[in-house]
Amino acid sequence: MPETVQRTMQRHSQWLLSIVLPVVLIAVILTADVIEGPKTAYVGVLSAIPLLSAVFGTPRSTAFISVVTWISAFTFGHLASDGNVRAQTVRLVIIAIFGVIAIIAAYVRTRRESQLASAMTQAAQAEAMRQQANTDLLTGLLNRRGVIEKLELHNAARSTVAVIDVDRFKAVNDQYGHIVGDEIIRAVGSRISGGVSRDDVVGRWGGDEFVVVLDLGIDQGTSVIERVFNQVSAQPLATSIGDIPVAISVGVSEWVDGEPLDSVLARADAALYSAKDSGRNQFVVATAA
């Protein structure tokens, strides 16, 4: 539902509950008094009407209902007087007191609601800023900072870490230009993230390098990385100037719980460079720590 429509519906419902409903209840109470009597017996019940308005309305609408309630009680008391002037005066004083209490209650409620809404807005803005700070603007994946922050909560007994690098990306940039180079980085990132589950960590480590962390042991993790490797390099990538074939090199390492992230990344990097030195377009699994 669009936000403007939702706000309009909220305003209408607030208007109905804080103004229309209290006015209707005033009419119902006074009509019941006329029908069932004795005269003015129900007038004291009107003191609850401003409190009802305070539950749903603003201080201004509550003040309006409080005045309408008091005037209704005053007018009805004179038109249908039971002859007890003192009782009528007491009723009017009580209604006035409850009206003032209702206005104060509405003010306190709306102020608290405003403070809560402001706090929620600030929290949402802070979370949006945090996500923006942790997101790579080009690919929409986590950036280096986001990956590190995500992995601070890592507690799997064994995981698989892969470092993925686009082969000869500088030559691609030089040949096709940086705009096409950015399209290739986005496409590679999309294929990598599409080959793993949502619970896995995928991020752009920098430049043309990506990091993948799977909550799987090295045997199962290697199978997933192999599938990702094939998804990325099997078919050319679609760009604004046509399809361009791209190859990647991958270094894979197992991450044992309690091992520093730097250590496992160093092993994965070493495996990546081994893949590069062996002719690129392949993945190499590092030996155990």
Residue 76 pLDDT > 70:
yes
Residue 102 pLDDT > 90:
yes
Q: How far apart are CA 226 and CA 77, in angstroms?
A: 88
Tell me the pLDDT tens digit for each residue of 231-272.
Answer: 998 889 999 999 999 999 999 999 988 888 999 999 999 999
How does residue 41 score in pLDDT terms, banded at 50, 70 and 90?
A: low
Q: Which domains does the chain have, with CATH numbers?
A: 3-132 (no CATH), 144-285 (3.30.70.270)
% of the chain at pLDDT higher than 70: 93
Instruction: Find the catalytic residue in 33, 165, 208, 215.
Output: 208
Residue 258 CA to its chain's centroid (Å): 32
Phi and psi torsions of 249, nearest 5°: -120, 145
Cis peptide bond N-terminal to 38, omega within 30 = yes
How does residue 38 score in pLDDT terms, banded at 50, 70 and 90?
A: low
Strand 248-256 and strand 283-285: the pairing is parallel
The answer to whether 257 is a known catalytic residue is: no
Closest CA to 140 of 176, 180, 192, 213: 192
